[in-house]
Amino acid sequence: MFDTSFSTNDLSYMLQGAWLTLQLTFWAMLIGTAFGIVFGLLRTMYPKRTIPLGWFLDIFRSVPLLIQFVLFNSFKSIANLPYDAFQVAAVVLGVYTAAFCTEIVRSGILSVPEGLSKASRSLGMTQKQTLLYIVLPLATRISFPGWVSLALSVMKDSALVMWIGVIELLRASQSIITRIQEPLLVLCVAGLFYYVMSLVIARVGVKFERRWQIND
């Protein structure tokens, strides 16, 4: 008979960690998407003027996320800034997300056929109207699958915040493993949580894509 020390309290503790993981993912995607849209537009409209911005974003894309967490958390402590570990994690993960979201937005805009912009201008639409009503709606549809994939990646990368003291799903799982010494069971449960959360995000993304197709 299968015997385990894993209790309902442990399950509840992991659920709290999963909820914190979702919160981190939400704030990271909110921050990253907002800045990604702005930076993506700037990088597309003014490519030469925004070369320094591109270099800056390359740093966040290139440096491992774990190093970014540790460096920013250390800077927070040295500068005695009034932010807790969760806020540091959300900001760092948000900037990291913005670096990738910028390229998603930029590639989406550049994927819109230039002939559509020329056609709208020939019909009397201004550059701003062309951008708002022609380019951005099409670019959004093109970029959306990449944005969903980024959200799934950010959710998994959020596990690295455990190194700065944030008790998300993986950190909660490790605490339980240390106490009951049943790593296989606990990690299977944690993996199931990640699978369910990823499945929900993916399904919501598919639903939005289908709605756009129906509206067409």
List the pLDDT tens digit at each of the 216 positions of the chain: 467 888 899 999 999 999 999 999 999 999 999 999 999 999 998 988 999 999 999 999 999 999 999 999 999 889 888 889 999 999 999 999 999 999 999 999 999 888 877 787 777 777 788 888 888 888 988 899 999 999 999 999 999 999 898 999 999 999 999 999 999 999 999 999 999 999 999 999 988 888 876 665
Residue 173 near residue 142 (C-beta atoms within 8 A): no
CATH of residue 148: 1.10.3720.10
Residue 24 near residue 162 (C-beta atoms within 8 A): no
Q: Within a domain: residue 22?
A: yes
Q: Within a domain: residue 175?
A: yes
Supply the pLDDT for residue 136: 86
Q: Within a domain: residue 1?
A: no
Can you list the pairs that 44-48 forms with residues at least 24 positions away whose Cβ atoms lie under 8 Å? 44/105, 44/106, 44/109, 44/110
Coil vs helix vs strand at 1: coil
Q: Within a domain: residue 2?
A: no
Cα–Cα distance measured from residue 131 to residue 137, given in angstroms and rounded to the nearest whole number: 9
Token pair of 204, please? 């919501």
Q: Count up the domains in the chain and report the number.
A: 1
Residue 172 near residue 13 (C-beta atoms within 8 A): yes
Cα–Cα distance measured from residue 116 to residue 34, given in angstroms and rounded to the nearest whole number: 26
Domain that holds residue 46: 8-215
Cβ density class 47-72: b for 16+ within 10 Å, e for less: eeebeeebeebeebeeeebeebbeeb
Supply the pLDDT for residue 128: 80
Cα–Cα distance measured from residue 180 to residue 72, given in angstroms and rounded to the nearest whole number: 33
Supply the pLDDT for residue 214: 61
Q: Within a domain: residue 151?
A: yes
Q: Within a domain: residue 33?
A: yes
Supply the pLDDT for residue 196: 96
Supply the pLDDT for residue 10: 94
Q: Within a domain: residue 47?
A: yes
Q: Within a domain: residue 3?
A: no
